[in-house]
Structure 1
């Protein structure tokens, strides 16, 4: 069975299951029987039906390398805010063929698209702000110190954004559907990123964190996200 065929059948079963909650006992019983018959015929479980409603939208990180810790943190914050789950698929570089690393957002309805769009916007902003901040550091600083302070800046930037991103978080049923989808698609192959972020080592490192928090205060997501949401809802009519 192709994914398209599975989704079509699962949609039909889902509609039957919804009708099974009808206040009309006869209608509810008939719908439940039909849902049970379809699941038996196609050897599907309720988890299969739920997972079929989940879809992905990805954001290209513009790099073949593993994203820095602060970008992974940003992806998770956005995923939580939109009731999605985020998974990073690493890029490849064989010289003759390249594939950039992607952040995939899995969820229901328009939420994955909104999450991916939000991540695209914020990734560009934090990349810009990091470059500007790194340029402002003293020229005679050691390279490791510059990298650490730029990373501390970004981590604080992400923490500041976390206070602004508010949720369209999904229901428990939606989260269960996403978990079922992940289990079907990835099985035991998903790995948790165990890396830790940059840590302040010297007295002046706190200035980098303060600068990151300050930079995040200037970032507003309300207008672009609402515009994207309106556009997506328009395409569904």
Structure 2
């Protein structure tokens, strides 16, 4: 038996220790304590066994744009996850850390929303940015994206309805992510004053984001399409 297997057995013993049968409960607790001592298992190890991870490729290797970071943080928070930006030699990744199916669902939601946002951004550029120089086109498009994320963030938490296992995540983050540094994102608006049309770009993004959609269900669950802007359940 390795440590991982021992932890699963300890968890079962601790569950039995809650039995109404005093003898059964006492025996289960003794077995759990014996296994913990034998395999060097601590209370935090048991808590951390509830934590799992899922990841999705980011749009940058080292410094993602600000609106992308906002979207990742918004989704993680809504589904009861912690979010970490990590990178390999070839790419950057958003790592969703949570309990049960939460990281998988958060990753799914992020991919769906990012795909819709990129499509909306492209349509906005084609419709509104034809005559702009490249720098202005990027600035307006980023403002559009920020407005889009703002609209989604006000609705997605109600859609998710996830419960956060605070103790398990705290134990995991303390042990595994203690040395994390603050993520420096690319804010292409930093130090720049808004110009004519910039406010309109943000508002156009906000209006577009109100029409974003997610499927309420993943895997074997029923896939019911819900609008984040016009669904009664989210009002």
User: Which of the five TM-score ranges fits, normalised by the shorter chain?
Assistant: 0.7 to 0.9
Q: 5+ unaligned residues in a row in structure 1: which ranges?
A: 93-98, 232-237
Partner of 2:30: 33
Of 129, 134, 144 in structure 2, the residue corresponding to residue 153 of structure 1 is 144
Deviates more, 1:162-171 or 1:108-117: 162-171
Alpha-carbon spacing, 1:101–1:47, altered in 2? closer, same or farther (3 Å): same
Deviation digits for residues 55-75 of structure 1 (CA, Å, limit 9, x no counterpart): 111112365353211111111
Inter-CA distance 229–192: structure 2 relative to 1 (3 Å threshold)? farther
* Rounded Cα–Cα distance in structure 1 between residues aligned with 2:119 and 2:20: 56
For 1:212 and 1:148, how far apart are their aligned partners in 2? 13
Residues 62 and 204 from structure 1, CA distance in 2 versus in 1: closer, same or farther, beyond 3 angstroms? closer
Does the aligned pair in 2 maintain the 1:70–1:151 contact within 8 Å? yes
Residue equivalent to 1:210: 203
Residues 5-59 of structure 1 deviation map (CA, whole Å, 9 limit, x = unaligned): 3332211112222222333333332222222221111112111111122111111
Worse overlay, 48-57 or 60-69: 60-69
In 1, Cα distance between equivalents of 2:220 and 2:109? 11
Say yes or no: does 1:103 pair with 2:94.
yes
Unaligned segments of structure 2, at least 5 residues: 223-235
Q: Distance in 2 between the 1:69 and 1:183 partners?
A: 26
Offset of residue 147 of structure 1? 1.8
Equivalent residue in structure 2 for 1:73, among 63, 66, 70 = 70
- The residue that corresponds to 1:234 in the other structure is none
Distance 1:21 1:156 in 2: 50
> Relative to structure 1, is the Cα distance of residues 151 and 62 closer, same or farther in structure 2, using a 3 angstrom cutoff?
closer
2:52 to 40, 44, 55: 55
Residue of structure 2 equivalent to 1:193: 183
Q: Residue 114 of structure 1 contacts residue 229 of structure 1 at CA under 8 Å; is this kept in 2?
A: no
1:169 aligns with 2:159: no
What SS does structure 2 have at the residue aligned with 1:58? strand
**Cα pair distance change 1:55/1:211, threshold 3 Å:** same
CA RMSD of aligned residues (A): 2.5
Q: 2-side partners of 1:77 and 1:41: how far apart?
A: 42
- The answer to whether the Cα contact below 8 Å between 1:84 and 1:111 also exists between their aligned partners in 2 is yes
CA contact (8 A) 1:160 1:217 kept: yes
The verdict on how the C-alpha distance between 1:89 and 1:44 changes in structure 2, with shifts beyond 3 A counting, is: same
How many equivalent residue pairs? Answer: 218
Q: Structure 1 pair 107/138, CA: closer, same or farther in 2 (3 Å)?
A: closer
Q: Which deviations, in whole Å up to 9, do the C-alpha atoms of 1:157-184 show, x marking residues without a partner?
A: 111111221333324xx22212222333
Deviations 1:71-120 (A, max 9, x none): 1111111111111111111242xxxxxx3221111122211111111111
- Determine helix, strand or coil for the equivalent of 1:57: strand
